[in-house]
Amino acid sequence: MSTSTQPSTPVGKTARWVDDRYTTSNALRRNLGKVFPDHWSFMLGEVALYSFVILLLSGTYLTLFFKPSMVDVIYNGTYVPLKGVKMTEAYASSLDISFDVRGGLLMRQIHHWAALFFVGAMTIHMFRVFFTGAFRKPREVNWVIGTVLVLLGIVEGFAGYSLPDDLLSGTGLRITQGIASAIPIVGTYVSFGLFGGEFPGTDFLPRLYAIHILLIPGIILALVTAHLLMVWYQKHTQWPGPGRTENNVVGYRFFPVYMAKAGGFFFIVFGVTTLISAFVTINPVWMFGPYTPDQVSAGSQPDWYMGFLDGAVRVMPNLELVFWHHTLSLNLIVPAVVLPGIMTLLLGAYPWIEQFVTGDKREHHLLDRPRNTPTRTALGVTAITFYLMLWVSGANDIIATTFESSINAITISLRILLFVVPPIAFTITKRICLSLQRRDNDKLLHGHETGRLLRLPHGEFVEIHAPLTQKEQAEILGKVDMPVLALETVDANGVAAPWALVNNLRNRLSSWFYAINVAKPSPAELEAAAGHFSHVSAVELEATHRHREFEALGGVLHQPSEDESVNH
Amino acid sequence: MKGKPAVNVSSSKRRRPMAAGVLLLLALVSTGAAYAVTTSALSAKSSSAANADNARQGKLLFTEGCSSCHGLAAQGGSNGPSLVGVGAAAVDFQVGTGRMPMAAAGVQARRKPPVYTQAEIDKLAAYVASLGPGPSVPKASQYDFSDANVAAGGEIYRLNCSQCHNYAGKGGALSDGKVAPQLMDASPKQIYEAMITGPQSMPVFSDRQIPAKNKQEIIAYINYLQSAPDPGGSALGRLGPVTETVFLFTVAIGALVAFAIWIGSKAR
Ligand code: HEM
């Protein structure tokens, strides 16, 4: 956009008009020129974002036909196997959407599959952030926002699939009501408050509807905006690589490259969701029948994101305490209230937990390769394994019928495996990480094995090793070897320091976290190793060549400038 | 996408002129009575003779194939329960679904291709029926569901059967390795027999609990489940959210990640 000459085209004139009033061009240029690093794993968050957009669009279509009412009607639509059956208006309108509204069934399936995608993509995106250490300072708050978003997504999905008031979701609501009532002292009040009296009543669905289409989407929208603004402002992290430091961002400008790719990816996500929704059934409410409290079907499972809770309730031993005619239902409180509470707290607080252990208070803009932080990676895998075991427990009856085995035996084994498998996963992951680190060091010092053998004049065979590319080298050398904490536990006079106990604990935890790491080769070792290759100069040549190529492709080596400095 | 349900059973009962019905009934009764009077002696003799004959042959078959578990006089043994008074329907169901003869001792006899022909099954049934009164094999008119209301059947099915057999008739787990089997292969006659004999852990649904008309409605609904199309596309085995999840994290998210990697690789 030129400012010296008068624009002649309509677009130019409009731009000028806007610019004269809001001086947007500066801000626009700065923001459109913003550089984003590139990696496929950075697109998982995008999948979540696009699924949310799909949810908003398809959900709005559904509101045109859905009736959130628990008033009884006699169904008289086109679906014969339910004709003449008494049901709530909510269920009847869900059937109408499925069978009598044009495009209704496709829209319901898009909405539901997108919901599964939404929570699924958020979860996998969270794993990416966790395993690469992207949650470290200065991005802790965004990690917390993410945690809240996942929770809201779960609650929103649960609210959504409870709306059609079918037998399956009604069963889920009944369990939820049981859990609410099990909360000590206030439980009954909570349950009566939620349902406006005895379960199921007639108030609950309209309330849930307001929560589902207004309250939670509103909060999610606000948090997503905050989340993205923070990514924008704090800049995206990047993988270690040639020319990449803690103080720059190497990648493509937002406009046009990144925007084109993001736009294209939106259509891919929309396309895949629609394709799946056109060919694969989800939540066939007509099969379940209307909800009535006196019916429950075998094989009742919730959507995947609620599965771990269902599983926790299923494997929990049946413990109840009775004091003075009051029952404390540990069988519900522990798996459905205490456990998710602890899981959420640990998740949200993890950045600070790790800081406490490592004492690492520096800013990080370069990501960790998961193998380079074996303890964190192993902790993550342990948590995921625990979660998966809970989810599998939620499918115990399906496993029993599919594999023709005893549900009692499966449940008892799951109780044991729940505590045995995660520690095993921890040990195995840690070992894999360490051996990958060793292999990296090996590659640095000896290069790639080429598989080509050379026979020396005196008859000995040696394998030819090829040097690493500059990119590979930079990736491996991007690893930061962290020192183990050595906080004071005694002061100069040999007297226990004030925080001796805490410091001692931190020293030990830090040593657990870091001590096993395989140190990077020293510069001297690297230099000696480089001598092995007669073609070091070739490596350098190759590197400069690649750099030119990168620039020629439109890549930008972005150095912080005045108006756009990385916030250090 | 619009679903066209396969079953189109009219729920409104056709009204026939009353007089014609009464007349027809009278005519039938009178001819029937006349016929009965003239042939009763003869037919009673021959049918009981045939029954006795069947039962005798059935006993032979029984001794050969069943007595090792149920005892020589079907009085029961350590490997099988007494069959006195279980009725012909129980035998027809158990042997007709291939459950009996049980292959090996296990928690439950499973459905498999039947070992005996229908003629042999009839003989076995006649033998067991001769031991004591019990439900007899239902006649075709009893399990004929062509006039039954599917929707009413769905209601009764969900109330009485779905807690064990699942909303879609996909079966479910019971305690200690027992299962309520899926109902996709059961014939109308077998469904009827299952209800009146209550095999293994299944309760008996007598005509007082579920009148014959409602039984036909249930059969109509199960028949619908067996043949219903899935208007929403592939139903992933109709197993509900468990298979949906597996599909989500393998095929669906797998496809998106593949696309992401593809786009990411175009960047370099
Ligand atoms: C934030 C993300 C959202 C999630 C995770 C979500 C999830 C769900 C789910 C799983 C269902 C059950 C669908 C079914 O199988 O029938 C549902 C139903 C529904 N949702 Fe949403 N939803 C979201 C946002 C919205 C929005 C923004 C609206 C409206 C503007 C909306 C409107 C509806 C309606 C009307 C139904 C009931 C339709 C029916 O069951 O036939 N949803 N939602």
In this structure, are A196 and A214 located in the same domain? yes
Residue B157 has pLDDT above 90, yes or no: yes
Tell me what pLDDT residue B47 has: 64
Q: How confident is the model at residue A142 (pLDDT cuts 50, 70, 90)?
A: very high
Q: Write down the domain spans for chain B.
A: 25-137, 138-241
Residue A159 has pLDDT above 70, yes or no: yes
Burial of A381 (0-12, 13-18, 19+ CB in 10 A): buried
Q: How confident is the model at residue A17 (pLDDT cuts 50, 70, 90)?
A: confident
User: Distance between CA B211 and CA A192 in Å, rounded?
Assistant: 39
Tell me what pLDDT residue A458 has: 84
User: Distance between CA A355 and CA A366 in Å, rounded?
Assistant: 17
User: Distance between CA A274 and CA A54 in Å, rounded?
Assistant: 10
> What is the extent of the structural domain holding A25?
1-32
Q: How far is CA B55 from the centre of its chain?
A: 24
First-to-last C-alpha distance (Å) of chain B:
42
User: Distance between CA A304 and CA A116 in Å, rounded?
Assistant: 8
Distance A299 CA to ligand 1 centre (A): 23
- pLDDT, tens digit (0-9, with 9 covering 90-100), for A34-68: 888 888 888 899 999 999 999 999 999 999 999 99
Q: Count of CB atoms within 10 A of residue A472's CB?
A: 17
Q: B65 in helix, strand or coil?
A: helix
The tally of domains found in chain A comes to: 3
Tell me what pLDDT residue B30 has: 58
CATH number of B138-241: 1.10.760.10
- pLDDT, tens digit (0-9, with 9 covering 90-100), for A119-133: 999 999 999 999 999
For range A199-217, the mean pLDDT: 95
User: Distance between CA B247 and CA B257 in Å, rounded?
Assistant: 14
Which positions ≥6 away from A345 have C-beta within 8 Å?
none
**DSSP states along A38-52:** --GGGGHHHHHHHHH
Atom 37 of ligand 1: nearest residue by CA position: A163
In this structure, are A105 and A28 located in the same domain? no
Mean pLDDT estimate for chain B: 84
Q: Count of CB atoms within 10 A of residue B143's CB?
A: 20
Q: Count of CB atoms within 10 A of residue A568's CB?
A: 9
Q: Count of CB atoms within 10 A of residue A288's CB?
A: 25
Tell me what pLDDT residue B78 has: 85
Please state, for a pLDDT cut of 90, what percent of chain A lies above it.
Answer: 60
For range A426-440, the mean pLDDT: 94
Q: Count of CB atoms within 10 A of residue A509's CB?
A: 19
In this structure, are A154 and A110 located in the same domain? yes
In this structure, are A47 and A25 located in the same domain? no
Query: Is residue A374, in this structure, part of any structural domain at all?
Result: no
Mean pLDDT estimate for chain A: 88
Burial of A451 (0-12, 13-18, 19+ CB in 10 A): exposed
ipTM of this complex prediction, to 2 decimal places: 0.84
Q: Residue A203: which CATH number? A: 1.20.810.10
Domain end, chosen from A295, A326, A352, is at A295
In this structure, are A544 and A521 located in the same domain? yes
Task: Name residue A366's beta-bridge partners.
Answer: A238
In this structure, are A179 and A226 located in the same domain? yes
Contact state of B167 with A299 under an 8 Å Cβ cutoff: yes
Q: Which helix (H) or strand (E) holds A150?
A: helix A140-162
**DSSP states along A467-532:** PPPHHHHHHHHT---PPPP---SB-TTSPBPTTHHHHHHHHHHHHHHHTTPPPPPPHHHHHHHHHH
Token reading at A452: 């080509």
Tell me what pLDDT residue B32 has: 52
CA–CA min distance B252, chain A (Å)? 8
In this structure, are A18 and A73 located in the same domain? no
Tell me what pLDDT residue B22 has: 52
In this structure, are A176 and A207 located in the same domain? yes
Highest mean pLDDT among A423-432, A434-443, B254-263: A423-432
- pLDDT, tens digit (0-9, with 9 covering 90-100), for B33-82: 555 444 444 444 556 777 788 889 999 999 999 999 999 989 988 889 99
Residue A460 has pLDDT above 70, yes or no: yes
User: Distance between CA A47 and CA B138 in Å, rounded?
Assistant: 58
Pocket of ligand 1 (CB under 6 A): A 52, 55-56, 59-60, 62-63, 66, 94, 97, 108, 111-112, 115, 118, 153, 156-157, 160-161, 163-164, 212-213, 217, 220, 283
For range A272-290, the mean pLDDT: 96
Query: Is residue A327, in this structure, part of any structural domain at all?
Result: no
User: Distance between CA A269 and CA A245 in Å, rounded?
Assistant: 32
User: Distance between CA A209 and CA A160 in Å, rounded?
Assistant: 8
Name the residue with higher pLDDT: A31 or B120: B120
Long-range contacts of A520-528 (CB under 8 A, 24+ apart): A520/A441, A520/A444, A520/A476, A520/A477, A520/A479, A520/A481, A521/A441, A521/A444, A521/A445, A525/A445, A526/A444, A526/A445
Q: Where are the beta strands (DSSP E) in A64-165?
A: 72-74, 86-88
User: Distance between CA B107 and CA A164 in Å, rounded?
Assistant: 39
For range A84-104, the mean pLDDT: 96
Q: Where are the beta strands (DSSP E) in B119-260?
A: 172-173, 179-180
Tell me what pLDDT residue B27 has: 58
Preferred mutation among A169, A269, A406 to probe B, highest tally of B CBs within 10 A = A406
- Ligand 1 closest atom vs CA A109: 15
Tell me what pLDDT residue B227 has: 93
Preferred mutation among B183, B242, B250 to probe A, highest tally of A CBs within 10 A = B242
User: Distance between CA A119 and CA A494 in Å, rounded?
Assistant: 54
Query: Is residue A441, in this structure, part of any structural domain at all?
Result: no
Query: Is residue A206, in this structure, part of any structural domain at all?
Result: yes
Residue A545 has pLDDT above 50, yes or no: no
For range A325-339, the mean pLDDT: 92
Tell me what pLDDT residue A520 has: 84
Instruction: Phi first, then psi: give them for residue A98, nearest 5 degrees.
Output: -75, -35
In this structure, are A83 and A211 located in the same domain? yes
Residue A89 has pLDDT above 90, yes or no: yes
Tell me what pLDDT residue B24 has: 54
In this structure, are A72 and A172 located in the same domain? yes
Query: Is residue A329, in this structure, part of any structural domain at all?
Result: no
Tell me what pLDDT residue B21 has: 54
In this structure, are A72 and A17 located in the same domain? no
Q: Count of CB atoms within 10 A of residue A34's CB?
A: 19
Cβ proximity of B253 and A117 under 8 Å:
yes
Domains B25-137 and B138-241 share a fold: yes
Residue A271 has pLDDT above 80, yes or no: yes
Q: Which of B173, B181, B180 is nearest to A410 (CA)?
A: B173
- Interchain contact B256–A (C-beta under 8 A): yes
At the topology level, CATH places domain B25-137 in Cytochrome Bc1 Complex; Chain D, domain 2 (1.10.760)
Best mutation site among A54, A58, A61, A62 for ligand 1, i.e. most ligand atoms within 8 A of its Cβ?
Answer: A62
**DSSP states along B161-198:** THHHH-TTS--EE-GGG-EE---TT--HHHHHHHHHH-
Q: Which helix (H) or strand (E) holds A36?
A: strand A35-36
- pLDDT, tens digit (0-9, with 9 covering 90-100), for B172-206: 999 888 999 999 999 999 999 999 999 999 999 99
Query: Is residue A178, in this structure, part of any structural domain at all?
Result: yes
In this structure, are A202 and A110 located in the same domain? yes
